[in-house]
């Protein structure tokens, strides 16, 4: 994780968030931006992207400086919330959830910032997910869907001829991989970095999800409890998830182990495909199996940009965000990180580019995927509860029933307070 001093120094900038919205030494307005770190291996690719983008923007807008702070996904939502609560909100945040800030009237709406063509260019499901009470506050920065990744060489060595299509086949494949001494037959990252994603994938695969068709939380439904009982009984308790307890295994560590050839199977997003290929891993990808068949939907994820009203820089923020969502910039970030564009025109361009042919399965899955219930003000709180607690559901002495029941009660309480 980079603090503001390290991040600003790395980008050659001068301001700190203590001066959010202050007049800059070089320009008339300094905009502050807090962004999440997308680098899978701890490098500086995210910093370089924002440094290049802001330098290009500042060259054309000499009256505006952009100061960027990069935070890990472990911390970025919390950091932005703490800054906003302390009256030091950044002008722009690129994080995982917007609804709580929107409900507290902290944010500009998208139509207060973006030109009509830019706002209309977002993919339809992402526009809907960015709305609270039919008003768009969250602007989708980048998107992804998730598939089951498997290491083709490890499968061949273990005598596994086909990718699994049911949970029973998945468990059988994991047992064969364990016999071949694969360190992680199935990596199950339920650590705090992104446990809410791994959880949702399994809930969908089990036939349910975080919410019902009416949008109410159903985290402790019979189907969801049954899903986590299966994970505990058939994977974790049988030693098929590797040497690190799922509740302590973060996504970044699991992805790194897959890229080193130590993981037989895991749920992955497009950027993992690119990193694994760099390390020589021959990757197979299929939908995560359901209990008896394919799940009704794959999980889609959008990460959000939002703009805070505190410093009153609507005009400057809007002009900058219109630049951020230019096709060239959207495609550059998505392409460099193996992710999916959030806009129609950039998605069409990526889909027709042979360089990105491997992303076709993800692009096809996105329009019909299900996203987190990010339009609920309670989601940030519920997501944190999942991150902190869901790993205990599969601990040796854990109880899926008890853990999901506790999270479910807290979710309902938070929902009723919306």
Angle between helix axes 344-351 and 327-337 (nearest 10 degrees) is: 50
Question: pTM score, two decimals?
Answer: 0.76
Angle at 376 between CA 371 and CA 382, to 5 degrees: 85
Find out whether 195 and 387 touch, Cβ atoms under 8 Å: yes
Angle at 303 between CA 252 and CA 255, to 5 degrees: 15
Give how far the C-alpha of residue 346 lies from the chain's centroid of Cα atoms, to the nearest Å. 19
What is the edge-to-edge ordering of all strands in the sheet holding 29-36? 64-71, 29-36, 92-95, 300-307, 139-145
Among 122-136, 234-248, 358-372, which stretch is predicted with the lowest mean pLDDT? 358-372
Question: Each residue of 196-225: pLDDT tens digit?
Answer: 999 999 999 999 999 998 889 999 999 999
Give how far the C-alpha of residue 227 lies from the chain's centroid of Cα atoms, to the nearest Å. 22
Q: Which of 7, 157, 150 lies closest to 67, judged by CA?
A: 7
The pLDDT value given to residue 14: 35
Over residues 267-272, the mean pLDDT reads: 88
pLDDT grade for 27, boundaries at 50, 70 and 90: low
The pLDDT value given to residue 296: 65
Question: Each residue of 351-409: pLDDT tens digit?
Answer: 999 998 888 888 888 877 889 998 898 988 899 999 999 999 999 999 999 999 999 99
> Residue written as tokens 């994938």?
201
**C-alpha distances in Å from residue 354, one per residue of 161, 257, 278, 357, 358:** 29, 28, 18, 5, 8
Cα dihedral angle (41, 44, 49, 55), rounded to 10 degrees? 180
Domains and CATH numbers, the chain: 4-144+301-368 (3.40.190.10), 147-297+378-416 (3.40.190.10)
Pairing of strands 263-268, 184-186: parallel
Over residues 285-309, the mean pLDDT reads: 87
Find out whether 320 and 94 touch, Cβ atoms under 8 Å: no
Query: 10 Å Cβ neighbour count for 277?
Result: 14
> Rounded distance, CA 332 to CA 352, Å?
15
Over residues 67-82, the mean pLDDT reads: 93
Find out whether 396 and 389 touch, Cβ atoms under 8 Å: no
């Amino acid at each position: 994780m980079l603090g503001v001093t390290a991040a600003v120094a790395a980008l050659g900038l001068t301001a700190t968030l203590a001066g959010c919205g202050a007049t800059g030494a070089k320009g008339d307005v300094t905009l502050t931006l807090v962004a999440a770190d997308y680098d899978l291996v701890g490098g500086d690719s995210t910093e370089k992207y924002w440094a290049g983008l802001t330098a290009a923007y500042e060259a054309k807008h000499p009256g505006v400086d952009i100061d960027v702070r990069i935070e890990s996904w472990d911390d970025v939502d919390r950091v932005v919330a703490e800054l906003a609560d302390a009256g030091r909100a950044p002008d722009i945040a690129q994080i995982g959830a917007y609804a709580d800030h929107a409900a507290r009237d902290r944010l500009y709406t998208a139509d207060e910032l973006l030109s009509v063509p830019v706002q209309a260019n977002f993919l339809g499901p992402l526009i809907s997910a960015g709305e609270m009470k039919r008003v768009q506050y969250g602007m989708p920065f980048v998107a992804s869907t998730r598939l089951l990744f498997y290491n083709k060489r490890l499968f061949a060595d273990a005598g596994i001829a086909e990718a699994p299509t049911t949970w029973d086949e998945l468990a059988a494949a994991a047992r064969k991989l364990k016999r071949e001494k694969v360190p992680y037959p199935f990596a199950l990252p339920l650590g705090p970095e992104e446990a809410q994603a791994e959880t949702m994938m399994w809930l969908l695969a089990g036939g349910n999800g975080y919410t019902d068709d009416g949008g109410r939380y159903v985290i402790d439904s019979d189907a969801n409890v049954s899903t986590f009982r299966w994970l505990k009984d058939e994977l974790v308790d049988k030693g098929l998830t590797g040497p690190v307890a799922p509740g302590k295994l973060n996504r970044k560590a699991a992805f790194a182990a897959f890229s080193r050839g130590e993981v037989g199977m895991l749920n992955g997003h497009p950027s993992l495909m690119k990193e694994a290929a760099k390390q020589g891993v021959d990757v197979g990808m299929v939908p995560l199996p359901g209990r008896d068949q394919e799940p009704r939907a794959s999980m889609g994820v959008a990460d959000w940009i939002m703009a805070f009203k505190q410093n009153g820089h609507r005009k400057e923020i809007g002009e900058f965000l219109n630049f951020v969502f230019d096709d060239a910039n959207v495609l550059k970030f998505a392409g460099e990180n193996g992710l999916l564009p959030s806009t129609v025109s950039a998605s069409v361009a990526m889909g027709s580019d042979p360089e990105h042919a491997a992303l076709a399965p993800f692009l096809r899955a996105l329009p019909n995927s299900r996203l987190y219930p990010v339009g609920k003000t309670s989601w940030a709180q519920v997501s944190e509860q999942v991150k902190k607690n869901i790993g205990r559901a599969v601990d040796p002495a854990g109880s899926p029933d008890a853990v999901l029941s506790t999270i479910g009660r807290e979710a309902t309480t938070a929902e009723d307070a919306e």
